[in-house]
Chains A and B, each alone.
Chain A
């Protein structure tokens, strides 16, 4: 098949219009889950069909796209989505956060600060933060409508009762502009502070659940907590073993069967840029070659 077989960015223009309307509504009501008619995409649910549809509706031929999965540009999921849009939209792609105009992500917010004009598109498996304790959709909608969010704190209470501390470390619930409680998708809670007051537009797409929600630039986003158990944006207490960064979110990598392990930045682009700039971690090699950077 060739690019001519597809409409620009795969979806037909009517569908994109419908999705753009949902996005605009989402931006107008930050944190509110807007229903939309999710389309069949040429990939299974759970592979970012919601994010892909949002990205498709936002892309223009001049855009530069970056796709990450758990912070990495080179995982199967990220590579296949990037290729999909190269083929169906012919847009430029990049791994550099500061070069991208649209970034589709699963499970991370890039370490490099985002800027005005950028769009960050999140893939969302379960958009409803209240689902865990209240399975009835009619009831959760009513709770959002009437701002009845006590249940969200019951979840955090249960966490502390069981683990001594708020153990929720992914998909940590937030309140948007003092109004809607929102699931930020399964990003680590380390990333939660970056949701707030961001210059970029943040869009969330849930394909299977047919919901889109959004944070316009400079939206206030607060992580829920208790007075005596305040929210902490925690990360592994290490520096990156490759680039030495002390403030980035780390993945733990098992290196052998003798218990050997290392910690590396989950944001591969951030790590690469630091190493290129001469930073070296505990196990890193100084001055990485240019091929490695490509």
Chain B
């Protein structure tokens, strides 16, 4: 295993994403509360925590799938920082298919199951105006190769793919437009261990190559160890500890993190 990525966290960089005081409740139940952090260009931030700790809620609010009750999510667009919570929906959706990407745990949520692999990868290109079939297909073929799917599967539907292939297809579909920020919710969940390892390896390569900034939710500390520069530990909707991944995992300060590390990291 190689060391986690350490790229571009120089102090001179402006944060790509600034999260300030983000809170989301479901009626009386807290989803996530008072979350604040900065994400810098090229940085991978891991979010861990037990089931129900608010990871998905937080990610949904960050990605604009859900409106937070309070707080700001400021993204550094090409033209300057913009609060994505208050921006016009049309603009947010446009950003979601250009600058952002979202990889779901279940490929069914992130793929069009009735559309061929090529069509799945080509959709974002067509959404931003690509109108040359030959070029769309060539780009799709190229991206399938990058996620290790053979070119002759381009016209097959995702149904005909294994779980690992579906997840790789979902990644290709998301990265084809060269997004700057990728949200991932348990991208390796539901896959068996050897398939997980291969997918993680692939992700690492792509993150490095493309200089992606990533926010990745997982309950698997091995995933975090491998991918994340920084780590946020959540419990009951709150962040109980955050810092550099190695520091948090090797020297956990909060009692809950200590429990988490001692119980899970023995894999």
Residues of A within 8 A of B (CB): 133, 146, 148, 150-151, 153-154, 157-158, 160-162, 226-229
Contact = CB atoms under 8 A, between A and B. Distances in A.
Contacts of B122: 154, 157
21 contacts: A146-B89, A146-B90, A146-B93, A148-B127, A150-B128, A151-B126, A153-B126, A154-B119, A157-B119, A157-B126, A157-B136, A161-B118, A161-B119, A162-B116, A226-B131, A226-B132, A226-B133, A227-B131, A227-B132, A228-B133, A229-B133
Chain A interface mostly helix, strand, loop or mixed? helix
A151 B119 CA distance: 10
A150 B119 contact: no
Give the 8 A-B residue pairs with the shortest CB-CB distance, closest first: A150-B127, A153-B126, A150-B126, A226-B133, A146-B90, A227-B132, A154-B119, A158-B119
A162 B118 CA distance: 11
Contacts of B154: 161
A148 B127 CA distance: 7
A148 B133 contact: no
B134 interface: yes
B124 interface: yes
A11 to B, nearest CB: 38
B185 interface: no
Contacts of A158: 115-116, 119
Contacts of B136: 157
A228 B132 contact: yes
B134 A228 contact: yes
Contacts of A150: 97, 123-124, 126-128
Contacts of A228: 132-134
Nearest to A166: B133
A153 B131 CA distance: 8
B95 to A, nearest CB: 12
B131 A154 contact: no
A162 B127 CA distance: 21
B49 to A, nearest CB: 31
Interface string B132-155: 111011000000000000000011
B114 interface: yes
A166 to B, nearest CB: 9
B225 interface: no
Contact of A162 (B112, B131, B155): B155
A48 B103 CA distance: 44
